[in-house]
Structure 1
Amino acid sequence: MVDAISIAPELPFKQQVLELAAHLSRSIPNPDQTNIREFVASFEAQVQVEEGQEISEEKKKEVVKSIVGKFVELKGGLEAAKESEVESSHLLLQYLLSTSFDASSEDYSSAIKSVAEAVKKGAEGSNKAGRVEAGARILNNTYNLLPASSPLRPSVLLTLLSLLAGPSDLSSLPLTTQTLTIALAQWQLSSAEKVQFLSSASELFQSSGSLPRALDLLTLALKESVEAQLVEKAILVALAVQDKFELDDVLSVQGVKEQLSGKAAEVVSLFEGDEVEAVGKGQKWVAANGSWVESAGITGFTADSVLRKLRLIALVALAAKSETRQLEYAPIAKALSIDESEVETWVIDAIRSKLIVARISQPQSLIRIQSLSSSSTSARRFGSSEWQLLEKRLTEWKKSVSEARSVVEEAEALAAQGPVVQQQRRGGGNRRQQGQGQGQQQQQGQGGEGERQGQGQGQEEAVVA
């Protein structure tokens, strides 16, 4: 969505009106030749003046209001033969409105809103393919033709979003958070009006299943006003987003924590304490507040979704605190309050949610952690226990490096002794190998059965997100 520069048509006012009337005549019920002529003639009579005279400004406004009324009555006039004609006619109408009325007048505001709503209704109710796309383009053009600071822009944009939220995909609209932030700063609206717009837009994205975008809009609204009801809504939508496991975006907005109260504050507290203990607390809280969760009416925010997030966060916390980067099934099952048979399912969920990268060893009932997501709360939390774990891992790493260095130094010393010593050592090694070979021949055939029994053990299944 970019600003557009209107190009003034080289037609006099009378011809502009007749062009619009001719377009609208194709959308009237039963558009036969007689009806079309009568329709156009009615507008021709309105712009008729005596020779040598011009239409007064007041008369122009009356005529424009009349033709706007017909656009509203005929639902935007979207039933024209070609979609390109529909767009062209609306561009002409926008020009006619901008040259006939003051942009700050109530008449202009009312006309823009009425036509936009008519286009929406016409697009939604049309039985012709492509009418939604045509209506969306008209509304998009209308938005872009308005000045960047116009308070009418949010109204037109909401109408466009409402149209697309039905049969189409709102993601097709390039409405990024950055673009919207710039627009909000330009629109001549009060904070209350901005909050109203953002809340309404958020509802449309939520109804279309775009919860992350709905949350972005609510977060922007909180920066304008931290009303308690708005804070609660933002928290619950954040919890409804399936792959979002922290509430920092909402809680970091100044004044939000002070407005938290009631059940919303209780559910937030589950995500702020000890991760493993939170699972048990969450089970009790959900059992006692299931009806409240359901009454929130937010798709994706359910008792099961809350417990799922608490369990996955607990799993990440266990992985972060593991000294060996290995987790057995039993402690995972205990921490998550699940059966051991369910452990692999939860680990796979954590991997697919990009919280961890791990491998599952089924024969050993072991999870080997390779890395943790930097975005997870557990990975970013760093207290005294994390410092102790870091110190222990650094000590182990120092020991491993020291041992590796000793091996390198021994190899360097051996190389410095020259080729003779190396040959002697290799010769001794060959004699030992010969002796081992004789022993192996004697034992040939005895260990075959044991080897077959050992096959298949220690195999690992790589789990890919």
Structure 2
Amino acid sequence: MADCIPIAPELPFRQQVIELASHLARSLPNSDQASYREFVGSYESKVNKEGEEDVAAEQKTEIVKSLVAKVGELKGALDGLKESDVENSHLLLQYTLSTTFDPLSEEYSTSVKNVVEAVKKGGEASGRQSRVDVASRILNNTYNYLPSTSSLRPTVLLSLLSLLSTSSDISILPLSSEVLSKSISQWAISSKEKVDFLLSLSQLYLSASELHKALDVLIIALKESVDTKIVEKAILVNLAISDKFELDEILKIQGVKENLGNAKSVVDLYEGDEVENVKKGQEWAKSNAAWVEGAGIPEFTAESVVRKVRLVALLALAARSETRQLEYAPIAKALGIDESEVEAVVIDAVRSKLLSARISQPLSLIKIQSISTLSSSTRRFGSDEWKLLEKRLNEWKVSVTEARSVVEEAQKLAEQPLSGGGGDKRRGGGGGGKRDNRQREEQGQGQQDGQSTQQQGEEVAAA
């Protein structure tokens, strides 16, 4: 969705009305030539009575209001010879409304809202995807026709997304958090109206099971108002998202921690020692079953909360392991599960990209390869974590020192002078020099052995 520059049609008011009436006539039930001519003729007589080209302002208002009423009666008048004809007629209608009424008047606002609601209902009631597509494009064009500051834009956008959520796929409309935030900042509406719009929008995304989008919208709403109910809902939606294991994005918003409401008890499960929180989470699940059910978010359950607490605890165990290996029994005890369930929990953690590990069933051992750096458990450092870090740094220091020694010795060997002159280099460089040295050593040793033998012979003879 992007802002467009509307191109005004070069049509006098009389021709605008006749064009719109002609389109509406095609959407009449059981339309035939006679009814078509009768309907269009009734509007021709209104705009060209007694040959007058100019129509009084008051009469223009009444004519346009009657056209809007007919659009509502025909549920958007989505019938036409071609889909493009329907879209063009609605663009013309928007232009007619903006030139007939004061864009800041209540009459204009009411007329636009009535047309938008009629188009939405027509798309929803049609039962045909082609009609839904036409209605969606009309609403999209209407949104873009309105000025970027228009207070009507939120209404049109909600209608468009509502139509998509019930009749199609809401995700086909690209609406990033950045675009939404920018648009809201431009709308000439109060902060309360912005929050109401965002809450309605988040509910649409929730109904369509678009939890990530719903959370994004609620976070934008929290930046407008840190209301306890909005905080609670944002936290619950965050917990309902299966692959989100942190609340940081919500808690870092100023004022949120002071307005947690009933969500404080579940937020506490993400504070303190992760392993100890497993038992607290199980107790929390038993005592808050009614509150969880009353939240009305299908994906948010007591079991989903305990699952996340266990996975975060598993991550903490992996981070604290000096050997990067975990046996089944300690894991089962820490997570409050049977040993037969350990593999399933580890696989869940791997699929959730919290860690990378290998499972050794014969040894009942989990071999940790890597741990997610996005988890709060890997960022929390107590005395045990500092001791482990110090030990690993010392091990790393020793390894680096040994590696440097090997490199330095290799450099010394490489820097030793080569013997044998240029000829040796031509025959292969240092390799030839080494062979010559070895030969001279062997000759010298032979001469020494000969002299020793001769000396021993002389001693024997003397005896």
| TM-score for both structures, normalised by structure 1 | 0.87
Q: Distance in 2 between matches of 1:193 and 1:129?
A: 32
**Alpha-carbon deviations, 1:28-74, whole Å to 9, x = none?**
11111121111112211221233355101111111111101100110
- Equivalent position amino acid for 2:247 in 1: L
Q: Distance in 2 between matches of 1:422 and 1:16?
A: 107
- Number of the residue aligned with 2:399: 400
How far apart are 1:167 and its partner, in Å?
A: 2.8
**Alpha-carbon deviations, 1:145-187, whole Å to 9, x = none?**
0000000000100001100111322211111100011111100
Q: Distance in 2 between matches of 1:364 and 1:399?
A: 30
Q: Distance in 2 between matches of 1:397 and 1:128?
A: 66
- Structure 1's 233 and 301: CA in aligned 2 closer, same or farther, altered over 3 A? same
Q: Distance in 2 between matches of 1:414 and 1:113?
A: 86
How far apart are 1:353 and its partner, in Å?
A: 0.6
- Number of the residue aligned with 2:147: 147
- Name the SS for the 2:359 alignment partner: strand
Q: Distance in 1 between matches of 2:310 and 2:438?
A: 61
**Alpha-carbon deviations, 1:220-256, whole Å to 9, x = none?**
1111111111111111111111111011111111111
Instruction: Indicate the structure (1 or 2) with the bigger Cα radius of gyration.
Output: 2
- Number of the residue aligned with 2:265: 266
- Structure 1's 422 and 54: CA in aligned 2 closer, same or farther, altered over 3 A? farther
Q: Distance in 1 between matches of 2:297 and 2:277?
A: 23
- Structure 1's 320 and 396: CA in aligned 2 closer, same or farther, altered over 3 A? same
Deviates most, 314-323 or 408-417: 408-417
**Alpha-carbon deviations, 1:251-298, whole Å to 9, x = none?**
111111111123x11111111121101111111111122122112110
How far apart are 1:414 and its partner, in Å?
A: 7.3
Q: Distance in 2 between matches of 1:120 and 1:150?
A: 20
Contact kept in structure 2, 1:16 and 1:92, CA below 8 Å: yes
- Number of the residue aligned with 1:186: 186
- Equivalent position amino acid for 1:278 in 2: N
**Alpha-carbon deviations, 1:92-146, whole Å to 9, x = none?**
0011011111110001000111100100000011143411111111000000000
Summarize the alignment of residues 311-460 of structure 1 with structure 2, pairs less than 5 Å apart: 311-408=310-407, 419=434
The alignment-based identity, stated in percent, is 63
Tell which has more relative contact order, 1 or 2 (C-alpha 8 A, sep 6+). 1
- Number of the residue aligned with 2:164: 164
Summarize the alignment of residues 25-424 of structure 1 with structure 2, pairs less than 5 Å apart: 25-51=25-51, 53-262=53-262, 264-408=263-407, 419=434
Deviates most, 327-336 or 311-320: 327-336
Q: Distance in 2 between matches of 1:290 and 1:79?
A: 51
- Structure 1's 249 and 421: CA in aligned 2 closer, same or farther, altered over 3 A? farther
Gap regions ≥5 residues in structure 2 = 418-432, 440-463
- Structure 1's 102 and 366: CA in aligned 2 closer, same or farther, altered over 3 A? same
Q: Distance in 2 between matches of 1:34 and 1:56?
A: 29
How far apart are 1:379 and its partner, in Å?
A: 1.8
**Alpha-carbon deviations, 1:414-453, whole Å to 9, x = none?**
77699579999xxxxxxxxxxxxxxxxxxxxxxxxxxxxx
**Alpha-carbon deviations, 1:309-360, whole Å to 9, x = none?**
0011001111111122221222111111111222111111111111112222
Q: Distance in 1 between matches of 2:280 and 2:386?
A: 27
- Structure 1's 374 and 228: CA in aligned 2 closer, same or farther, altered over 3 A? same
Contact kept in structure 2, 1:235 and 1:250, CA below 8 Å: yes
Contact kept in structure 1, 2:28 and 2:74, CA below 8 Å: yes
- Equivalent position amino acid for 1:44 in 2: E
- Name the SS for the 2:270 alignment partner: coil
- Structure 1's 6 and 414: CA in aligned 2 closer, same or farther, altered over 3 A? closer
- Number of the residue aligned with 1:17: 17
Contact kept in structure 1, 2:319 and 2:378, CA below 8 Å: yes
- Equivalent position amino acid for 1:89 in 2: S
- Structure 1's 127 and 231: CA in aligned 2 closer, same or farther, altered over 3 A? closer
- Name the SS for the 1:183 alignment partner: helix
Contact kept in structure 2, 1:414 and 1:422, CA below 8 Å: no
Contact kept in structure 1, 2:80 and 2:86, CA below 8 Å: yes
- Equivalent position amino acid for 1:232 in 2: E
- Structure 1's 52 and 38: CA in aligned 2 closer, same or farther, altered over 3 A? closer
Q: Distance in 2 between matches of 1:106 and 1:412?
A: 86
Contact kept in structure 1, 2:222 and 2:253, CA below 8 Å: yes
How far apart are 1:361 and its partner, in Å?
A: 2.3
Contact kept in structure 2, 1:139 and 1:156, CA below 8 Å: yes
Contact kept in structure 1, 2:14 and 2:53, CA below 8 Å: no
**Alpha-carbon deviations, 1:173-219, whole Å to 9, x = none?**
11110001111110011110000000000000000000011011111
| TM-score for both structures, normalised by structure 2 | 0.87
- Number of the residue aligned with 2:421: none
- Number of the residue aligned with 1:460: none
Q: Distance in 2 between matches of 1:8 and 1:274?
A: 65
- Number of the residue aligned with 1:461: none
Contact kept in structure 2, 1:199 and 1:221, CA below 8 Å: yes
- Structure 1's 124 and 169: CA in aligned 2 closer, same or farther, altered over 3 A? same
Q: Distance in 2 between matches of 1:48 and 1:267?
A: 70
Q: Distance in 2 between matches of 1:348 and 1:412?
A: 47
Q: Distance in 2 between matches of 1:90 and 1:290?
A: 50
- Name the SS for the 2:49 alignment partner: coil
- Structure 1's 101 and 336: CA in aligned 2 closer, same or farther, altered over 3 A? same
Q: Distance in 2 between matches of 1:193 and 1:288?
A: 36
Q: Distance in 1 between matches of 2:129 and 2:229?
A: 41
**Alpha-carbon deviations, 1:376-435, whole Å to 9, x = none?**
1112223443332211101011122233444556666777699579999xxxxxxxxxxx
- Equivalent position amino acid for 1:371 in 2: S
Contact kept in structure 1, 2:355 and 2:371, CA below 8 Å: yes
Q: Distance in 1 between matches of 2:352 and 2:391?
A: 29
**What is the RMSD computed on CA atoms of the aligned residues?**
2.1
